[in-house]
Structure 1
Amino acid sequence: MSAPPKLSSTAPASGASVRVPRVHAIARAWSELGETVAPLSNGAGRPLARTVKLILEPLVIRPVQNPHLAAASLTEDAARELTARITAAGADLAAAGEWFGVLKRARRALGITEGNPQERYFQRCFELARTEGRPTPGAPASEAIANETVQEIAQADGESVLARMRELLVDEEASAALGERLLSAWSQRTAGSETAIDSARVGAVLDACGARDATRDFAALLAERAGTSAAADLTGPGAARLLGLTEHETLAPPRLGATASKRELPLPFDRSIYERLFAALSGGVPADIGLDVEVIVTEEIARSAAAWELEAEHSRVVMVLGAEASHSLAPAELLRPTNAHRLLRDRWDREAYVRRVRRLPAGATGVPENIESDIRTVRQGYLRRLWVRLHGRELRGQVTDAAELWDTLDGILRSVIMDQRHRLKTALGRDLEGAA
């Protein structure tokens, strides 16, 4: 393995404390474990990116419980503590690497090819290391555990369902029939009505968020089909694009599709039928969704032609409420008077990086351009993430009611912020590593 980096490469300025790039502290701790963790290491002897993401961060360092270990640069004391935590987990990490080899052999024997083995197995390998100790390659007990684990993960992560779905969608006869069903559903599409929405009732529900029960007003919006009525506005030129749900001026039927990539998923309304299902099911298939992939695809075709491209009225109502509440995230907007507006604005304004981007002109903030753009257009990102959350809940048969409304609206913003913080920390970490 390559020589570990020094904990500090430069002397601090007078009166300043020494700071250690976090990536260097992790690399130094890892190098001390030697060849025992080779299966979890890259060619340079450092932990693989997935080792850091899936094992070290959530299971060893635990930055949520240890926020002093979460910064891109650490104090010397924090760097020593981080090193100690990784060193103390050395035996478990070595065993996890051995389990990874056993699980990969079981995967090959079972003929499973879908998905990245590191993504699928790293965390389970660490769990097996903690509960079973080191495996014995070739021993019946270890092989049985590996076979059972690989089969369980394959069932849980949706490999089999998505693979059969792809087979259906590439079959010429089946895809032709499904294509006709898709065009028929869109030809009969009723995206909404011109019925006026009771804005006072919408305001009452949002004002109750985080404060009091809004069951009665929420139920009234459902009864009035406010979500369906509001979808009429999405049919206007550029309306859905303004909300960040599509890149196109007008809505059009999706493709059936048969491929998808998590890194290159289009905006929600631009996704193929397969991409919509892939995004929702690749992380795990609920036990009660059923195994008839033709039924799943057919239901998704119907959903794509419905108002807001969502099946349930409660989901559509939540989209209306989210669209209204998220106005508070746009800096040029006057703050609406409801509690939801105030609470979302307060959470967003508490972020120092947000205040910096708002205060300085574009390109002068020191924030990477893609993240800066996401901050300035956060409302669109918020609504995209809300749609994805509601779509996934529908596939799992979950209802978002009045009791869960505020947790959902607030949780989406927390998710947006955590994602941006992580991207900023990653970018800052790269800068520190390059400067050291």
Structure 2
Amino acid sequence: MSAPAELTPVSADVDAVVALYPRAQVIAQAWQELGDGVAPFSNGSGRPLARTMKLILDPLVIRPVQNPGLAGGTLTAEAADELRDRIRAARVELAAASAWFLELKAARRRLRITEGNPQEKYFQRCYELARNAGAPSHDADAVAREVVSEIAQASGDSLLAQVRQLLRDGDETPRLVAELADAWASRPTPGTHPVARDAIARALDACTGDGPDADFAALIEADAGTAAASALDGDGAARALGLTRNPAPLLPSLGGTASKRDLPLPFDRSIFERLFAALSGGAAPELAVDARGLVEEEILRSARAWELGEEESRVAMVLGVEASRALEAAEVVDAQHLTAAHRRLAARWRREAYVRRALRLPIEFSGVPASVVADVRDVRRGYLRRLWVRLHGRELRDQAIAADDLWDLLDGVLRSVVMDQRQRLKVAMGRGAVGAIGSEAA
């Protein structure tokens, strides 16, 4: 039997034909080398999903516009090697982005968001998270919830979009402006009778499980939160608590725009900014409220004591103001009123190594970024801002505060402060901006 003829005979007189490789095949082979870490971005055969190609690989990894030699349907051997190298080099970021996609999908389920395709909405944001923060860590739930909420509020048919449209309606805004002015003109004058510190101390002891629940209820019954708000209209009192930049709270505007990166202090926010901060993840499904009702309720709430609508929220603010004294560097709690809540908050705060270094050492020797040092040294005001935001959000979602919830609320706000500062410190260390901070003896 004669030997089969060669399909491409080699001739010394003819230049060798340049070998070409199908681009899709090169990508598929390089992708399969990445393994199970990119499974959320892969189809059943282990190849990248069509949306993975469209939203991540082409625009963010391969970048064919800047690298036209990698854009064709077939590639030279040199271009194929470069393409493989680009995908392999992105292994860590692609795996981290895949993990973030799972976190964002879980947050989407918890927030009961069903609109839109999660791949279209989240793929590129996941890769951005992977580039900026690495793989998900201990605060992944909070980060994922914030990202999903931000994306959801941008939806054209979200409740916030309806609120924005209402506040831009030329026929509606004059009426709402008049309602806002009337509400503030008729603000109830808080009582001037002082709140007994002994009663506050008993409630702070009780909330940690060391006493009866009746103390919190007694403060609510006595309108202690409303009474304490009388001090906020004094020169600089609300500013000292970190709730406004003004000497006293001012009449807010209606507003119509907001940015999570640049929200004013709580008492300086417009009506829209207050709603944006609390509901950017979408209104809870059990709240049968429309945009008009939401705005009108917020107008009335803004004119109440502490700019909160419920007395239990105001009492919680009063308790937070007292308990957060334990976070200040100087001892400001007298022994007679030192409570279990003071001791527990102080212990949680001061067991953080970065906190002790920031408080003890000059900035240049602490190993802590200057912005974090500033927040550590001003933690009480940051704590009270977060407490107000959390209470305001609970009111919008009709989540009443019971005595059993109080310690989880006060302690949870401090945990949130610490987690945020840890993350900022971690990012700075990853960039080589600061040295490592080891654990220390207390």
Measured after TM superposition, the shift of residue 56 of structure 1 is 2.5
Measured after TM superposition, the shift of residue 388 of structure 1 is 0.4
Q: CA RMSD in A?
A: 3.7
Q: 1:35 to 1:319 in 2, by over 3 A?
A: same
Give the equivalent residue in structure 2 for 1:288: 286
Give the equivalent residue in structure 2 for 1:56: 99
1:49, 1:237 → 2: CA distance?
Answer: 54
Measured after TM superposition, the shift of residue 289 of structure 1 is 2.3
8 A contact 2:205–2:340 mirrored in 1:
yes
1:344, 1:191 → 2: CA distance?
Answer: 33
Deviations 1:199-253 (A, max 9, x none): 1111001112323343211111011000000000100111111101111112111
TM-score, scaled relative to structure 1? 0.68
Give the equivalent residue in structure 2 for 1:326: 324
Secondary structure of 1:342's aligned partner = helix
Give the equivalent residue in structure 2 for 1:359: 360
Q: 1:51 to 1:185 in 2, by over 3 A?
A: farther
Deviations 1:328-351 (A, max 9, x none): 000112445200000000000100
Question: Does residue 348 of structure 1 match 2:349?
Answer: yes
Note the residue ranges of structure 1 that are not aligned, 5 or more in a row: 1-25, 61-99, 108-115, 124-149
Q: 1:254 to 1:117 in 2, by over 3 A?
A: farther
Give the equivalent residue in structure 2 for 1:393: 394
Question: Does residue 227 of structure 1 match 2:225?
Answer: yes
Question: Does residue 207 of structure 1 match 2:205?
Answer: yes
| 1:260 aligned partner, one-letter code | A
Query: How many matched pairs?
Result: 331
Note the residue ranges of structure 2 that are not aligned, 5 or more in a row: 1-33, 63-85, 104-115, 130-147, 436-442
Question: Does residue 420 of structure 1 match 2:421?
Answer: yes
Measured after TM superposition, the shift of residue 179 of structure 1 is 0.4
| 2:220 aligned partner, one-letter code | L
Measured after TM superposition, the shift of residue 196 of structure 1 is 1.4
Q: Find the structure with the greater CA-based Rg.
A: 2
Q: How does 1:128-167 map onto structure 2 within 5 Å?
A: 159-167=157-165
| 1:382 aligned partner, one-letter code | Y
Measured after TM superposition, the shift of residue 371 of structure 1 is 1.2
Secondary structure of 2:432's aligned partner = helix
Measured after TM superposition, the shift of residue 162 of structure 1 is 0.9
Q: 1:156 to 1:170 in 2, by over 3 A?
A: closer
2:100, 2:347 → 1: CA distance?
Answer: 29
TM-score, scaled relative to structure 2? 0.67
Greater relative contact order structure (CA < 8 Å, 6+ sep): 1
Deviations 1:133-160 (A, max 9, x none): xxxxxxxxxxxxxxxxx9xx95998952
| 1:231 aligned partner, one-letter code | A
Q: 1:257 to 1:47 in 2, by over 3 A?
A: farther
Give the equivalent residue in structure 2 for 1:261: 259
Q: 2:237 aligns with which of 231, 239, 243?
A: 239
Q: How does 1:94-173 map onto structure 2 within 5 Å?
A: 104=120, 118=124, 159-173=157-171
Structure 1 runs (4+) deviating above 4 angstroms are 44-55, 57-60, 100-103, 116-123, 153-159
2:128, 2:180 → 1: CA distance?
Answer: 39
| 2:422 aligned partner, one-letter code | R
2:227, 2:92 → 1: CA distance?
Answer: 47
8 A contact 1:162–1:278 mirrored in 2:
yes
